[in-house]
Structure 1
Amino acid sequence: MKRKYIIIGVAVFVVLTLLVALQCKAKRMPVVVDLELKLDQPDPALKPFDSTLVAPFFEKHKELNDYKEDVMLVYRNHKFNYLWHDSKGRKETAEVLYSRINSISAEGIFQEVPYKLEFDALLAESLATDLTKELMLTSLYFFYTDKVLAGIDQKKREEMGWFLERESSSYVSYLDTLLANPGLVNIETQLNKQYYLLKNALKKYQDIAGLGGWDSIPLPENFKSLKPRDSSELILAIRKRLFITGDLKEDSGSSVFDESLSKGISVFQQRHGFIVDQAIGKKTIGAMNVSVADRIKTIMINMERCRWISPNVSKEKEYIVVNIPAYKLTYIKNDSIALQSDVVVGTTINQTVIFSGKMKYIVFSPYWNIPQSIIKKEVIPGIQKNSNYLANHNMEWNKGLVRQKPGVRNSLGLVKFLFPNSNNIYLHDTPSKSLFQRESRAFSHGCIRVAKPKELAQAILANDPKWNSEKIDWAMNKGSETWYTIKNEIPVYIGYFTAWMDRNGNLNFYNDVYNRDGQLVSFLTKKQ
């Protein structure tokens, strides 16, 4: 008996090692698995089925044709033995998959399960072995992993302007692991943890929808705003609305704008990326009037984006995340927030690219090497109008190009942070500090301006004995460019999320600054 457990333990280790090795392979690549490593051995009392019967199944079920190749592969690997049945009938793994398929709406999937009525009818029948039932289970397993775990393929993501890459997985191999241990399907490790946080938020908003959602708050024609200590019948509706989403802990039924309502409004405004002014204006009420159905759709859209991120991101020792719609930079160290800073991102014409890189350098008192596009559109016309244009803007010619000299007037400010990339995007300081006071901060040519550049440099160099606050301040203001190579490269992720769960457990909604949500929902809801 002891020897048996040792053999099983070794087999588990080898299977898991094989699975990890396959993680970086393409999702559709042909993976032939060594069946001798599998714990889930075929029942000798149940004969393999005729492989020629697979094609007729897909002829009848054309909506599942995308998975035909994977279905054939997995059965070839298993020598066309049944996966979901044995001589006693349906296995536990089939029941686990059926349960997952039936709860797929909780995963934020827009598409309906193909042949759902037939699937339900097949599984409602006896537990006896049936080839149609067998092939349906395997096909819907691949539908589930495709929609819930993989999401839209990398090529389509890039067409939508998303260049953050995630390692592809072989869900053929993953199936073998689940067949050996059905409990693994419930382990939340396949996706980034933000996905599971949004999944919980989706459940909350689906429950709200089930109770009727919330009513729209009508505004009088002459409405301007409500402020603390004001009294209005509108406040009754506002209290009710805030209580439904938990921004207000209790609904007192008072029509007076009191301290408790002020706190609730502050929470709501902060969650929606507004300046927290504790006044109830048209914009705040407009956000309250977005229907629960639309909020659910936004959560689902962003759950899809979470499928495009490696689950290993949050396991990094340190990393920097910029969320474009939130206009926010977050620097994580050892799973704690080391720094948060407001940022300015690219305009709708010069959109900041969604990608990742490794921060390698900090440049103090930087030159700004002006891109050719800006030279042509702005600098040359400026020189033509004013011969002193370069001097007035602290610029000079340098090897046929134009650069701006270091100093407080430099457009990059006093420091920049480089993570070399083909998009020529980086983080930097700015002399235009007033822009950080605005709610909407899409003003740059594509690079990311940081409200707390010195604090970011201090956080990055906190454990570097060569630097302290005084030396950083000196380097930023000395007027001559200095490059410093960071000891440990820091991953930088620039993303685009219009719904996001923060570390305080609050669900935040942000303005779709580049109008990308509509494009994504159109793709996700069309017939695939």
Structure 2
Amino acid sequence: MMCIPHAILSPKLRAGVFALALGGLGLGMTSAPAQAQVTAFKQAIAEAASSDDGVAAFYRENDYQPIWTGSGDMDRARRSALLAALGNISVHGLPDRSVEVARLAEQMQNARTTRDLGLLEVQLSQAFVDYATDIQTGFLVPSQIDDGMVRENPETNSSDFLTGIRDGQPTAFMRSLAPKSSQYRALMKEKFRLEALVQQGGWGPTLPNRKLEPGQSGPDIVALRNRLISMGYMQRSATLTYDGAIEAAVQQFQAEHGLEADGVAGKGTIAEVNKSVSARLKSVIVAMERERWLPTERGERHVLVNQTDFTARIVDHGDVTFETRSVIGKNQGDRRSPEFSDVMEHMVINPSWYVPRSIVTKEYLPKLKANPNAASHIEITDSRGRRVNRSAVDFTQFTARSFPFAMRQPPSNRNALGLVKFMFPNKYNIYLHDTPAKNLFSREVRAYSHGCIRLQQPFEFAYALLARQSEDPKEFFHRVLNTGKETKVELEQNIPVHIIYRTAFVSSKGRTEFRRDVYGRDAKVWAALERAGVVLSSVQG
């Protein structure tokens, strides 16, 4: 009945877990006066709960009554549900807790005094709170893994968790704790599928890393064909030639892995085809952890930017209603785009580009020292916003720290921000915007910016946002644009923006897609999970 790994439990503990979870704790406490037992029990709870404000608050509100260690049916049901959940937590891609199950079972078996019972009560509550927090909002702290993962785990409340398990049906409440998003459920389903494939030996032999293209024949083509069949991209076939069926399968594979879908199996495509089932499984497990980091409420309408996919989408009631290609920060130093959520409040049409201080001092100051007229398309302004006469300034006297000026590029077609930017004010100075560098959107890997997100179709993005507050959003947008003046347009409905990083996700068609780990962040997340005890089968394929 309980998903407890018996292999680590002695026969005595196995019997104890069963008896204690489903039966009474059976403590013999008749030798002490009843009131003394109650007092000792409450004191033990108060002492043990003092380290967690939420747990302490719950027991004060609950008059220090037990919810785990009593002899009633609901106490037994809660114990059973907790031990089963702890023993089964690895299905969520979280570290195995079977050792903790064994330790709790042993403490339950060995409890002899009222104080033991009070301490055990809190230990069970803390084990439950830890489980609930890990499974609902994430096991890892993102910012401790990579300084670009500035997303904060959603807040949880220990008291709310305990109230829920006290008042609800225990097994059902345990099941309700995992994220309820369709993406999380789909990822878990994919995790089970990939785990089964790992045990079956994977997708078969890998291919030599050389270019294969339509019309070719030979053993490498057969190996490619077999690999694509195993992956589900082709029906069974005996073809020995790179024919139309293989080409179509390669195109579908490329589209679902963020590659140029040209039907030619170049080295980049072969490298992705050769990725093992275990490698893909790691990506799915990391994606499940990342899903736990997102706010529970994403917004009925929200903007979703997946950095690894180089896309920006508008999502309405779970459906993608607009999608465009994007360019993200270059994979270099502080240029990598951070991951966080915020709220879009307005757009600026015909924006000025107020050059960030880091770019002013690192990129433009050296040029100005060599030539005062460098970057002449950008204005230099003093602390009052007045334009500075370059010929009257000796830029060689300044260091990055002492440079007293700001720099601004006025609105124009050449402006670094293009003709519109979309603002969700944040301390990272990140936003979405147009760009004059349209050629970058045709590239497969689009990591070139200083950190902000560039959009291939910024005007259409603006129309979609304005459609809810203007009868003719296109006409309104261009009327403002044609003035040439910097204009702030408030959004009547603020829109949540989620900048995420997913190398594995399930599309609206129900197909699992994979992307390359552009910044190497998922490798760090997996390493942290592995250090914490998440394991995969040793079978590769």
Superposition TM-score tier, normalisation by shorter sequence: 0.7 to 0.9
Q: Which residue of 2 aligns with 1:408?
A: 413
Residue 234, structure 1, aligned to residue 220, structure 2? yes
Q: Secondary structure at the match of 1:201?
A: helix
Residue number among 442, 449, 457 corresponding to 1:444 in the alignment: 449
Quote the offset at 1:292 in angstroms.
Answer: 1.6
User: Hey, what's the Cα distance between the residues in 2 that align with 1:144 and 1:99?
Assistant: 12
Q: Which amino acid aligns with 2:216?
A: D
Counterparts of 1:372 and 1:218 in 2: how far apart (Å)?
A: 49
Shift in Å, 1:379:
2.6
1:80 is displaced (CA, Å) by 4.9
Deviation for aligned residue 1:479: 3.1
Partner of 1:207: 196
- The residue that corresponds to 2:184 in the other structure is 195
Structure 1 outlier segments of 4+, above 6 Å = 45-49, 52-55, 65-73, 119-124, 132-136
Q: How far, CA to CA, are the matches of 2:220 and 2:51 in structure 1?
A: 54
How far apart are the structure 2 equivalents of 1:149 and 1:489? 26
Over the aligned positions, Cα root-mean-square deviation in angstroms equals 3.7
Q: Does 1:271 align with 2:248?
A: no
Of stretches 325-334 and 191-200 in structure 1, the one that deviates more from structure 2 is 191-200
How many pairs are equivalent?
468
What's the counterpart of residue 253 of structure 1?
A: 238
Aligned to 2:15: none
Q: TM-score, normalised by structure 2?
A: 0.76
Give the Cα–Cα distance (whole angstroms) in 1 for the partners of residues 143 and 369 of structure 2.
44
1:95 Cα shift?
Answer: 3.2
- 2:137 aligned to which of 147, 150, 157: 150
Deviations 1:326-350 (A, max 9, x none): 1111111233212111111111221
How much does 1:514 deviate?
A: 1.6
The residue aligned with 1:430 is: 435
Counterparts of 1:324-363 in structure 2, within 5 Å, are: 324-348=307-331, 349=333, 350-363=335-348
Look up the match of 1:244: 230
Task: Give the drift of 1:107.
Answer: 0.3
CA distance in 1, matches of 2:50, 2:137: 14
Deviation, structure 1 residue 274: 1.0
CA distance in 1, matches of 2:65, 2:294: 35
2:279 is aligned to: 294
In structure 2, distance between residues paired with 1:501 and 1:67:
40
**Aligned partners of 1:497, 1:283: CA distance in 2, in Å?**
19
Question: Aligned pair 1:483/2:488, yes or no?
Answer: yes
Q: Measure, in 1, the Cα distance between the counterparts of 2:282 and 2:101.
A: 22
User: How far has the Cα of 1:70 moved from its partner?
Assistant: 7.2
How far the C-alpha of 1:184 sits from its partner, in A, is 2.8
Q: Which of the residues 41, 44, 48 maps onto 1:51?
A: 41
Q: Give, in whole Å, the separation in 2 of the partners of 1:71 and 1:461.
A: 46
SS class of match (1:435): helix
CA contact (8 A) 1:193 1:311 kept: no
**Pair 133,243 (structure 1): closer, same or farther in 2 beyond 3 Å:** farther
Deviations 1:347-395 (CA, angstroms, capped at 9, x unpaired): 122111222222122211222111222222333333444454344x365
Provide the secondary structure at the position in 2 that maps to 1:294.
Answer: helix
Aligned to 2:401: none
Q: Is this contact kept in 2: 1:191–1:310, CA < 8 A? A: no
Report the residue type matching 1:379 in the other structure: Y
Distance 2:50 2:504 in 1: 30
Q: Secondary structure at the match of 1:330?
A: strand
CA spacing shift, 1:273–1:120, aligned 2, 3 Å: farther
Q: Does the CA contact (< 8 Å) of 1:164 and 1:356 recur in 2?
A: yes
Verify the 8 A CA contact 1:358 1:489 in the aligned structure 2. yes
Contact 1:67–1:143 (8 Å) recurs in 2: no
Inter-CA distance 154–292: structure 2 relative to 1 (3 Å threshold): closer
TM-score (ref. length: structure 1)? 0.78
Equivalent residue number for residue 305 of structure 1:
290
**TM-aligned CA distance change 1:447 to 1:477, over 3 Å:** farther
Task: State the Cα distance separating 1:151 from its structure 2 match.
Answer: 2.0
**1:307 aligns to what SS in structure 2?**
helix
Using the alignment, how far apart are the partners of 1:206 and 1:105 within structure 2?
A: 12
Over the matched positions of the two proteins, sequence identity in percent amounts to 29
CA 231–155 in structure 1, closer or farther in 2 if over 3 Å, else same: closer
Tell me how far apart the structure 2 counterparts of residues 123 and 275 of structure 1 sit (CA, whole Å): 59
**How far did residue 98 of structure 1 move?**
3.4
C-alpha separation in 2, matches of 1:402 and 1:381:
14
Aligned to 1:23: none
Would the alpha carbon gap of residues 117 and 252 (structure 1) be closer, same or farther in structure 2, given more than 3 Å must change? Answer: farther
Mapped to 2, the partners of 1:426 and 1:375 lie a distance apart of 19
Call closer, same or farther: CA 1:492–1:156 in 2, change over 3 Å.
closer
Confirm or deny: 8 A CA contact 1:396 1:405 kept in the other structure.
no
Q: Which amino acid aligns with 2:457?
A: K
| Post-superposition offset of 1:517 | 2.0
Cα displacement (A) at 1:432: 0.7
Over 3 Å counting, the alpha-carbon distance change for 1:231 and 1:71 in structure 2 is same
